[in-house]
Structure 1
Amino acid sequence: MADETFHGIGVGREHLAPFAVDAAASRGRLVPEPDSRTRTPFQRDRDRIVHSSAFRRLKHKTQVFVAYEGDHFRTRLTHTIEVSQIARAFARALRLDEDLTEAVALVHDFGHTPFGHAGERALNRCMEDHGGFDHNAQSLRIVTALERRYAEFDGLNLAFETLDGLVKHNGPLTGRHACIGGPVPRPILDFDAVFPLDLDRFASLEAQAAAISDDIAYNTHDLDDGLRAGLIDLEDLEGLDLAGDLLREVTARYPDLDRSRTVHEIMRRHITRMVEDVIAASLGRLREDGIGDPHAVRAASRTLIDFSPRMRAMAAQTKEFLFARVYRNDSVMRVMDRAEGVVADLFARYRADPAAMGGAWSESVRSLDEGRLARRVCDYLSGMTDSFALAEHRRLFDATPDLR
């Protein structure tokens, strides 16, 4: 039988919208590799992401509540899975490449530290003389350098489109549409110099779908976790335009429903209402802007996969409510302050005594200047799970705070 060449198993180009990314036209990888006989480049990327060590570590990294506060709260891993599920729904509805969309969604939080944003704040302070710390830039470092699984390259050697989506899912990093204030993080600029990522242009619709899915997921599940933790009550939702409307809708239809099921009914409607809004609003923008191919997406003057103005206002209202009632709640802040202290303690100790890191992390440290040593310590610390960070603190210090 003659040898057959496969071009991946998945949705054919004829079933995708003209503005979707074409896997067969991928711009390739930093280190060239032969095509897979059975997978598209984006299917291959998704599989590499799922099988990475960084993906497994998300299981034990804080989203909002540390693991000790209960088994039913979200972790970085469960959040990532929820984002991926919503993102695939967008890709299916808009006829985008589902595998690329899923890959960007699955990798978007790789760079998060132990203890969520508390760990990020601590590392950013520790690294302020050496370029600071940015979790998005750290995600790029992980998939381009720090994962070491393959014989021929460091990192995961992901396709351009996946890296582009990882770095710019929230928008361009340079130019008049830049989504960040201040300088672009050094790790991103360093990689861009070797493998240009068009930092002044928008990422694909697939990446934009992953980004808005992140907003939908955390706005919804942080409300859910806040209710579960007792930081907010159902009655508190009445003042929110979206959740309050859904509360009234559910209680009118099911007046005798118990609290737990009422919460679940509200949350699933919360996601559905936001998803339906994004699909309708995004299709409108694509028509208005005459977007006919992936190149037009990248050259666009605005994000195309987004909420309607009304839903954007409601999402902002929900986020403001979560900051006031959940993220900055005294009990949450008390735990996060202690967590910041754990990370700062470990950074100072490893920097003063790199051998305490052990293994390959402590090798050849004498050849490193101050900045590169600090970055190595930062890489080591940012990859830790909550439980490992606490175990290391107990090993190296006489007293470790109780994160409860």
Structure 2
Amino acid sequence: MAAPYATDPAQSRGRLYAEEESAHRSLFQRDRDRIIHASAFRRLKHKTQVFIEHEGDYFRTRLTHSIEVAQVARTMAASLDLNVELTEAVALAHDLGHTPFGHTGEEALNALMAPYGGFDHNAQALRIVTDLERHYAEWDGLNLTWETLEGIAKHNGPVTGDIPWALAEYNKRHDLELHTHASAEAQVAALSDDIAYNNHDLHDGLRAELFSTDELAELPILHDCFAEVDRQYPELNYYRRRHEALRRFFGLLVEDVLAVSAANIKALAPASVRDVRAAGRMMIQFSPALWRDLKTIRQFLFTRMYRAPAVVEMRVAVTQMIDELFPFFMTNPEELPKQWRKDVADARDETALARIVSDYIAGMTDRFAIQQHARLIGGTPVPAGVTDGH
């Protein structure tokens, strides 16, 4: 039975466009299913986290990452007596707005869009599910519930100050109460994202040989994980040893969040999801001690992985691609696919055109962006970069 502070689908604020609901699925199950069947979700299989899509079959993509996040989120939501379906829907949708080439692509597109309101991947995810997925007869977008949209928009906390334009535009017609915290379910999705990428970036960095197992074993948290494995399995081979250590690391992160979050909820004693939104702080958190250790690990990953020479070389190359594709389509919008050219015809000014071009480029997969750049512009191909030898 769900806790009183869980989000109850029977009390949902509903959808922007009224529709008959399913007799067999709750509102949030239906939201989850619509996200899974979305074109943008399928494209995540060829969008990468750190490495470019063609660099190796074993590295995480945005799709495998989203599945891992959803798995962690389901586990934690169930443990905290939250609504599992809503948590899963937000977790699966959280990366829909990412550009090709990971955060490098986002940084490039944000710089190009600076004169037109900028680019933010969280706001773009909301734009995708409320506008750019155009498959239904009666509306644009997926017509998700208010609670799922709220979770996508503000799972990382209230959105105040300079609100990304895509989020601000939608909020004018469907108030998501951006000044408050999101539901506990959305907060679980946010922490599940942190857990998943902290774990799998260590896996991927090892596979890419950007650092060694011995170096990982010297880091906080991981030192104890390796020590425990060595005590229990003193003769374990190299690959199994690191897998066992990282498995324990993963489990420690989950257990820490569950313990701290349960304590936060007990202290607040929320009688409803409204109390969670009005709490003034996140209910779902890491402990301060573990968070400090995680920051040390993240700094290690930043230096040794995200800014490794081969990754930096790739960043330069893919930034150039985005920098060249954007002005090309601004000057030659007739090169956009047919279904995009109607929007171009309706564009009132340069800002409207820039947003169409931005939407198109942001939706590209790594491989499609590389192919389009080669076809339309040519030039030096993407460097080989880091590979896993597969």
Bin for the TM-score computed over the shorter chain = over 0.9
CA drift of 1:248 comes to: 1.5
| C-alpha separation in 2, matches of 1:297 and 1:363 | 43
Contact 1:66 1:403 in 2 (8 A): no
Q: 384, 388, 391: which one pairs with 2:368? A: 388
CA drift of 1:65 comes to: 1.0
Q: 161, 165, 168: which one pairs with 1:186? A: 165
CA drift of 1:364 comes to: 5.4
Q: What's 2:33 paired with? A: 47
| C-alpha separation in 2, matches of 1:247 and 1:50 | 37
The answer on 1:66 being equivalent to 2:45 is no
Q: 373, 377, 393: which one pairs with 2:357? A: 377
CA drift of 1:366 comes to: 4.7
* Cα displacement string for residues 65-99 of structure 1 (whole angstroms, at most 9, x for unaligned residues): 11222110000000000000000000110111100
Alignment of 1:4-403 (within 5 A): 15-174=1-160, 183-363=162-342, 365-368=344-347, 369-403=349-383
User: Unaligned regions of 5+ residues in structure 2, if any?
Assistant: 385-390
Contact 1:68 1:403 in 2 (8 A): no
Q: Could you tell me the percent identity over the aligned residues?
A: 51
* Cα displacement string for residues 179-231 of structure 1 (whole angstroms, at most 9, x for unaligned residues): xxx50101111111100001111100100000000000000100110011000
CA drift of 1:367 comes to: 4.4
| C-alpha separation in 2, matches of 1:30 and 1:88 | 26
Change in 2 beyond 3 A, CA 1:364/1:115: closer
Q: Which has the higher contact order (CA 8 A, sep 6+)?
A: 2
* Cα displacement string for residues 99-148 of structure 1 (whole angstroms, at most 9, x for unaligned residues): 00000000000000001011101101110100111000100110000001
Contact 2:70 2:192 in 1 (8 A): yes
TM-score, scaled to structure 1: 0.93
* Cα displacement string for residues 303-358 of structure 1 (whole angstroms, at most 9, x for unaligned residues): 00111111111221111111111101111111121011111111111011001112
Q: What's 1:179 paired with? A: none
| C-alpha separation in 1, matches of 2:128 and 2:325 | 20
Secondary structure of 1:95 counterpart: coil
TM-score, scaled to structure 2: 0.96
| C-alpha separation in 1, matches of 2:31 and 2:343 | 32
| C-alpha separation in 1, matches of 2:21 and 2:207 | 47
Contact 2:4 2:273 in 1 (8 A): yes
Q: Given residue 102 of structure 2, which amino acid in structure 1 is its aligned partner? A: G
Contact 2:123 2:167 in 1 (8 A): yes
Change in 2 beyond 3 A, CA 1:364/1:17: closer
User: Unaligned regions of 5+ residues in structure 1, if any?
Assistant: 1-14, 175-181
Contact 1:62 1:386 in 2 (8 A): yes
| C-alpha separation in 1, matches of 2:274 and 2:330 | 45
| C-alpha separation in 2, matches of 1:211 and 1:364 | 33
Q: What's 2:388 paired with? A: none
Number of equivalences: 383
| C-alpha separation in 2, matches of 1:145 and 1:344 | 25
* Cα displacement string for residues 50-75 of structure 1 (whole angstroms, at most 9, x for unaligned residues): 00000000000011111222110000
Task: List structure 1 segments (4+ residues) > 6 angstroms apart after TM superposition.
Answer: none
